[in-house]
Amino acid sequence: MESTEPAGTGTRGRPETSGPSGTGGGDGHPGTARRVALLGAAVALAAVSVVVGFRLADADGPTPVPQALAFLPWLLVPGGAALLLAALARWRTGMAWAVAVLALTVWFLRPYGTGATGAHGPVVARLSVLTSNVEFGGATDSLITAVRRERPDVVFVEECDFRCADALAARVPRASYPYRDVARLDGSRGSALLSRYPLRAAGRIDGAMAMPGSVAVVAGRDVRLQLAHPMPPLPGGVGTWRAELGRVREFAAGAKGERTVLAGDFNASQDHAAFRAVLDAGGLHDSARIAGASRTYSWPADRTVPLRTQIDHVLVSDDFAVRSARFLHLDGTDHRALLVALELHGG
């Protein structure tokens, strides 16, 4: 009897296939789902690899790399998604690529720098340092409350506008902070440095926002106090950010070997090469890193967003030991203040 099965079919009427099971193609090419997964994996891997590549090269690169580097731990999300998509697409090269990128990212999550300073000899003074960006003066009231409660010995204030400067003058008693270095400017340009210790004038770092500096006399020893507040790495402004952080690095290099506290809103995290250069040039140590809080966020603090980073720092020379570091919430600002307890050694 003559067969009535349609042409091109196998036994019992089932269509013949020659490609991988479930691909739907007879020529071995991946199906639509696999193509979409492969494309998604390739795009995610390319984007993450660019950022991780600049981190590996110890460079910050052009926009959008510096902005992405600020949130480097979050690269694990697109990197993990790329690994999953590559697995779904059965793209072995992509899976190996994703594993390599994820491994590098995890490696760079380690705290940068040493876990202790080189302080030695007897403790000659204990002091606390507070740094706070009050965002155009908006958190001035909250800052004054924190200063009264915590009673830090030295206070660095960024974005201290006219209103902020006037409030500090009127409501923070001179008896508590008799020594001050205030750059009375409007908007984000103003800054202030308050001290319980005698101050004498020292050079400032040039920048669009004021970065005053002084020399304090602590237990009979000179301590260089310098406020840092370079411009942020906004799109179109990365060159200015890099140049101003470069001036901060030059200050740190010039102060190497001296007792130094360099504090403020650096607009840079440990994942930025420009910030690591500041640490390395001056032989300085990040207090939060030593206190075990190197990944504790300081910005943005006024929004419930997952992308957060630490850009507010207190850096100290080898003459200081770090006892603790705490981030404080202040109303009216997108930054958390940082309070650090230090010991000055006389060795």
DSSP 1-70: ----PPTTB-GGGPBP--SSTTS--SSS---HHHHHHHHHHHHHHHHHHHHHHHHHTT---STTHHHHHT
d(CA 41, CA 83): 7
Structure tokens at 272: 């930025």
Q: According to the model, what pLDDT value does residue 30 have?
A: 53
Structure tokens at 327: 């981030």
For range 97-123, the mean pLDDT: 96
d(CA 113, CA 294): 10
The set of residues, in sequence order, having a beta carbon less than 8 Å from that of 222 and lying 6+ positions away, is 215, 216, 258, 259
End-to-end CA distance of the chain: 106
Q: According to the model, what pLDDT value does residue 1 have?
A: 42
pTM surpassing 0.85?
yes
d(CA 347, CA 118): 10
Among candidates 308, 314, 297, which has minimal Cα distance to 262?
Answer: 314
Structure tokens at 183: 């750059």
Q: According to the model, what pLDDT value does residue 16 have?
A: 43
Q: State whether residue 339 is helix, strand or coil.
A: strand
Q: How confident is the model at residue 304 (pLDDT cuts 50, 70, 90)?
A: confident
For range 45-63, the mean pLDDT: 98
User: How many residues make up the chain in this entry?
Assistant: 347
User: With 50 as the cut, is the pLDDT of residue 337 above it?
Assistant: yes
C-alpha neighbours within 13 Å on the C-beta side of residue 262: 33
Q: According to the model, what pLDDT value does residue 203 have?
A: 86
Q: How confident is the model at residue 29 (pLDDT cuts 50, 70, 90)?
A: low
**CATH for the stretch 123-345:** 3.60.10.10
Structure tokens at 129: 């340092």
Q: Order of strands across the sheet with 320-328?
A: 179-183, 191-195, 154-158, 123-133, 337-345, 320-328
Instruction: Provide the mean pLDDT of the chain.
Output: 92
Q: According to the model, what pLDDT value does residue 38 have?
A: 96
d(CA 124, CA 120): 11
Q: According to the model, what pLDDT value does residue 320 have?
A: 98
Pinpoint the residues of the chain covered by CATH 3.60.10.10.
123-345
Cα angle at 65 between 61 and 68, to 5 degrees?
A: 150
Q: How confident is the model at residue 328 (pLDDT cuts 50, 70, 90)?
A: very high
**Regarding beta strands 320-328 and 285-286, do their DSSP bridges make them parallel or antiparallel, or are they unpaired?**
unpaired
